[in-house]
Chain A
Amino acid sequence: MKIVVCIKQVPDTTEVKLDPKTNTLIRDGVPSIINPDDKAGIEAALQLKEQTGGTVTVVCMGPPQADVALREALAMGCDDAILLSDRAFGGSDTFATATIIAAGLKTLDFDVIITGRQAIDGDTAQVGPQIAEQLHIPQVSYAEDIKVDGKALIVKRQFEDRYHMIKVQTPCLITALSELAKPRYMTVSGIVDAYEKEVKVLGFEDLKNNFDPANIGLKGSPTNVYKSFTKQAKGAGTVLNVTADEAVQAIMDKLVEKHII
């Protein structure tokens, strides 16, 4: 089975902190990591490969620094790595990103594409389905388990209140929940090998026949960021010394005010 995993390099948002003085994000020193859902996707791909044979190709769109994310994927056991990188790709929203990645995938032969459900920096969960749309292949998102059934896959697809067991023919695209598979570690020897391999870089010139150049980058993005801001820092809270009933009422009011209930 020819498996392709799409990954994104993201800042480790659990390490992102706000500067209490300027109320802006402190990005310095925040490590870059493979997006956790994508990493589960890598593991799922490696397990599929172990069951069926074949290859795992890992694809990442990003700046040249994303090379290390691909090396990590190789060190976990992926066979090949492709970096989609070009200044012209910068500023892409999910539609434009999916356009570029789909163009990159058209250069490959694949049975299954696995993406993470969503990235922890953007949290959109949109790129996977939009790649599937561009490639005109079926998608199964929110996958919690994947089994091979001949040339088809049987996927456990999670909803809030239920799950479906879905049989899907290849080629198809699956978006992985982090529950799908616990990623293995790299190995020391895998890292040694990873840096001996070549990471193929594809840019605008390599892909220009596979997409409409009007649909990529900042200009090709239907959406754009109008403004971004940090949430107001917490003010000093109130402390109430009242009767139990009054206290309960105060809590209920707060929960309604903050849309918790």
Chain B
Amino acid sequence: MEGFKLTKTQLLQQELFRKFAENEIKPIAKEMDEKEEYSMELVQKLQKCHMFGIPYSKEYGGAGADVLTYTLAMEEVSKVDASTGITLSVHTSLCCPCINEFGTEEQKQRFLRPLVDGTKVGCFGLTEANAGTDAAGVQTTADKDENGDYIINGQKMFTTNSGFADTFIVFALTDKSLGPKGMSAFILDREMEGLSVSENIERMGIRAASNCSVNYENVRVPKDRLLGKEGQGYKIAMTALGGGRIGIGAQSVGIAQGAINEVLKYVKERKQFGKTINKFQNTQFKLAEMQTKVDAARLMVWRAATAKDNHENYAPLAAMCKLFASEVANEVTRGCVQLMGGYGYCREYPVERAMRDAKITEIYEGTSEAMKMIISGSMKV
């Protein structure tokens, strides 16, 4: 991006994402939401387009694009289906960065390559029943055995993608006495003995995404699957989450823009009091307000992404874009349902789904309140 404009490459990428979303995701989004099941065929199509490895180096089989391009993908897919957004996000900006930024060369070749070249899907297991915003409250343990391997025990909650992921990044305490400083990160495979994934958790929104609790019962993890050093787990998790928020910001922008686009079509056709409702100033002003907020949110997302691409300190920018964009997504989708009236509330139109999907953006990968902690912290309040 330069001068608030996307480059030619980014524009063409955006067109790919838009066409893909329109043709491949939109037609099945409603059905996936109702069935509460993500389409594995769609995962394969996304992988074929290299959409599971966007901001990763070609050296490791990635697409070689930038973080900004990744936010374009997040926005476009989330316009038609926020569940696809979170599926991509957890893989791309939570699971993969742990290995990309903290893995050894050998680990990158072995574990990152299949994730970013479109062979495998990843997930990220941090949250537990008693460790939400307070991530330091993780109780899952990793005990060293006589060979130096680790035995992991515990239960993770809300692990997105876990229903079908191949690779699991898991955070566990290697030293309970040290609290968060005793946390370490491991790379697990789905096939490992003792790893079991429960049924999908029933939710209000992003219902097509796979989101399960995962049990780890005496899972033996070879020592070459430790990421970084023992005790670095908390730092690894926070680093991943810091970048992930840019993706959630983009997802929020997509949810909001998708709802506005639906409403724009509707208000030109819907007639009340003898004219189409786009002729009423309330409709015009409401849409103007909503679009302005979405544009502001998008610029914040792009700013954070550009900072990350330039290796600048992006963490507070990411927190701000996520805080703002997620609140905009909720406000705008509510407004869109309202503009469409009874039809907006009906399942026939996708705005009610957008409204349900929007809520989670204020919660996951750090709640709005957690964002405010980060932002105020950076302000040295």
- On whether the beta carbons of B64 and A189 are closer than 8 Å, the reply is yes
Contact partner of B63 (CB less than 8 A), chosen from A68, A72, A188, is A188
Contacts of B65 in A (CB 8 A): 188-189, 191-192
**A192 and B9 contact, CB distance less than 8 A:** yes
Is A186 positioned at the interface, with any CB of B under 8 Å from its CB?
yes
Contact A188 B48 (CB under 8 A): no
Residue of B whose beta carbon sits closest to that of A71: B12
Chain B residue at minimal CB-CB distance from A76? B16
Does A194 contact B19, Cβ atoms closer than 8 Å? no
| CB–CB A188/B9 < 8 A | no
Specify the main secondary structure of chain A where it touches its partner: helix
List A contacts of B15 (CB < 8 A): 72
Report how far A194 CA is from B12 CA in the complex, Å. Answer: 10
Interface centre among A71, A187, A194 (most CB of B within 10 A): A187
Contact assessment for B8 and A195 in the assembled complex, using a CB-CB cutoff below 8 Å: yes
Residue A163, interface by CB 8 Å: no
Question: Is the pair A195, B48 in contact by a Cβ cutoff of 8 Å?
Answer: no
> In the assembled complex, which residues on chain A have CB atoms less than 8 Å from the CB atom of B349?
none
Chain B minimum-CB-distance residue to A185: B49
Residue numbers in B under 8 Å from A195 (CB-CB): 8-9, 12
Contact A186 B8 (CB under 8 A): no
Nearest-CB distance from A50 to chain B (Å)? 14
State in angstroms the CA–CA spacing of A187 and B117 once bound together: 12
CB pair A188 B50 closer than 8 Å: yes
Residues in B neighbouring A72, C-beta threshold 8 A: 12, 15
User: Could you give, for residues 171-188 of chain A, a 1 whenever the CB lies within 8 Å of some chain B CB and a 0 otherwise?
Assistant: 000000000000011111
Is the beta-carbon distance between A185 and B20 smaller than 8 angstroms? yes
Interface class of chain B by DSSP: helix
Q: CB-nearest residue of chain A relative to B58?
A: A189
Taking CB atoms, residues of chain B closer than 8 Å to A190 are: 50
Given A68-B8, A187-B50, verify A192-B63 contact (CB < 8 Å): yes
Q: Is A192 a contact of B49 with CB atoms below 8 Å? A: no
Is B54 positioned at the interface, with any CB of A under 8 Å from its CB?
Answer: yes
Q: Interface size bucket, A side?
A: 10 to 19
* Contact-residue bracket for chain B: 20 to 34
A192 to B54, CA, bound (A): 10
A68 contacts B12, C-beta separation under 8 Å: yes
Closest beta carbon of chain A to B209's beta carbon, Å: 21
**A186-210 interface (Cβ within 8 A of B):** 186-192, 194-195
Are A188 and B8 touching (Cβ within 8 A)? no
What is the chain A residue whose CB lies nearest that of B9?
A195
Contact A187 B49 (CB under 8 A): yes
Is residue B51 within 8 Å, beta carbon to beta carbon, of the partner chain?
A: yes
- Can you list 27 A-B contacts with CB-CB less than 8 angstroms, sorted by A residue number? A68-B12, A71-B8, A71-B12, A72-B12, A72-B15, A75-B12, A184-B48, A185-B20, A185-B49, A186-B49, A187-B49, A188-B13, A188-B16, A188-B50, A188-B51, A188-B53, A188-B65, A189-B50, A189-B53, A189-B58, A189-B65, A191-B16, A192-B9, A192-B58, A192-B65, A194-B12, A195-B9
Known: A188-B49, A188-B51. 17 other contacts (CB 8 A): A68-B8, A71-B8, A184-B48, A185-B19, A185-B20, A186-B12, A187-B63, A188-B13, A188-B16, A188-B50, A188-B54, A188-B69, A189-B53, A189-B58, A192-B58, A194-B12, A195-B9
Binding site for B on A (CB under 8 A): 68, 71-72, 75, 184-192, 194-195
